[in-house]
Amino acid sequence: MSASKKTIKRVTTQVLFNMKASGEKIAMLTAYDYSMATILDDAGIDVILVGDSASNVMAGHETTVPITLDEMIYHASSVIRAIKRALVVVDLPFGSYQGNSTRALDSAIRIMKESGAHAVKLEGGEEIIESVQRIISSGIPVMGHLGLTPQSIYKFGTYTVRAKSAEEAKALKKDAKLLEKAGCFALVMEKIPAKLAKTVTKSLEIPTIGIGAGSSTDGQVLVTHDLMGITKEFHPRFLRRYLQLYDEMKKATESYIKDVKRVDFPNSSEQY
């Protein structure tokens, strides 16, 4: 158990800042529902991300593009009802903030008021900085997200490693500084070279959280369904699977079906 799990009653943005300063790594995972959030919070996770990956994992869409603001609020409200300790960050979905800082602020306010979440996350750098500034100036904490930004999948066409060229790396470093200056409390960096993630992490005072960005970031995030082995057809190099729940749950379902068919369930002690 980490020192902060024992001593910290509630994780705040200031706690994350202190963790970076003291060198304690930040552990973040996704959740989209009450039951999963209860388990993660009870285990001592520092940050829960209600990611727009719910679009893939919960709704079965191919990309994160279709999920709506109303759907994100539904997932976030379910997660918030479970939380005693973790900081809960919610993704602003595609179409709810790009190109219009007034709409961005309205979307962020809806998430905060209707779900009770603690912070929001937006994908992008310079192109969304006005939205980031506007949301922060209203008092809502913002987490940035650079590197692979899945909401822009149709612009890039692939989910491959980002910022491999010197030009892209330079742009990412500049965006990271801009987001910090705008007041973001943390920055997710997805699928970028570990060396670049290390350089950016050292150059910032705010904590960085990596996914496929090596071990030098101030924290790590994974999609919980990937880590637990509930999703099956996803094998990126950065993913460590801690369980094979798809197989376990399938086996349990097969056993239940068998027991029902042969009238073994319910037995005499499982009825009234």
The reply to whether 175 sits near ligand KIV by the rule CB under 6 A is: no
Of residues 41, 46, 52, 180, which one binds ligand KIV by CB under 6 A? 52
CB of 270 to ligand KIV, least distance (A): 39
Of residues 26, 72, 211, 228, which one binds ligand KIV by CB under 6 A? 211
The reply to whether 218 sits near ligand KIV by the rule CB under 6 A is: no
| Residue 1-40 contact track with ligand KIV, rule CB under 6 A, x = bound | -----------------------------x----------
Return the number of the residue (58 or 109) whose C-beta is nearest ligand KIV: 58
Return the number of the residue (31 or 129) whose C-beta is nearest ligand KIV: 31
Which of 71, 114, 190, 205 is the catalytic position? 190
Q: Return the number of other C-beta atoms located less than 10 Å from residue 119's C-beta.
A: 24
Give the whole-angstrom CA distance, residue 26 versus residue 146. Answer: 18
Give the whole-angstrom CA distance, residue 272 versus residue 269. Answer: 8
The site that binds ligand KIV (CB under 6 A) totals a number of residues, namely 11
CB 132 within 8 A of CB 179: yes
Is residue 180 annotated as a catalytic residue, yes or no?
no
CB of 66 to ligand KIV, least distance (A): 13
Between helix 166-182 and helix 129-137 the angle, nearest 10°, is 20
Tokens 């479970």 map to which residue?
82
Q: Return the number of other C-beta atoms located less than 10 Å from residue 81's C-beta.
A: 13
> Which position's Cβ is nearest ligand KIV?
51
Of residues 83, 128, 163, 221, which one binds ligand KIV by CB under 6 A? 221
The reply to whether 51 sits near ligand KIV by the rule CB under 6 A is: yes
| Cβ partners under 8 Å of residue 201, min gap 6 | 208, 216, 217, 218
CA-angle at 248, arms to 245 and 249, nearest 5°: 80
From 50-58, 78-86, 112-120, 225-233, span contacting ligand KIV (CB under 6 A): 50-58
The reply to whether 91 sits near ligand KIV by the rule CB under 6 A is: yes
What is the 8-class DSSP label of residue 210? E
User: What six digits make up the tokens of 187?
Assistant: 């920055």
CB of 194 to ligand KIV, least distance (A): 17
Give the whole-angstrom CA distance, residue 235 versus residue 138. Answer: 40
CB of 147 to ligand KIV, least distance (A): 10
Tokens 């209203």 map to which residue?
138
CB-hemisphere CA count at 13 Å for 4?
22
Residues that bind ligand KIV (CB under 6 A): 30, 49, 51-53, 91, 188, 190, 211, 221, 223
Residues with catalytic roles: 190
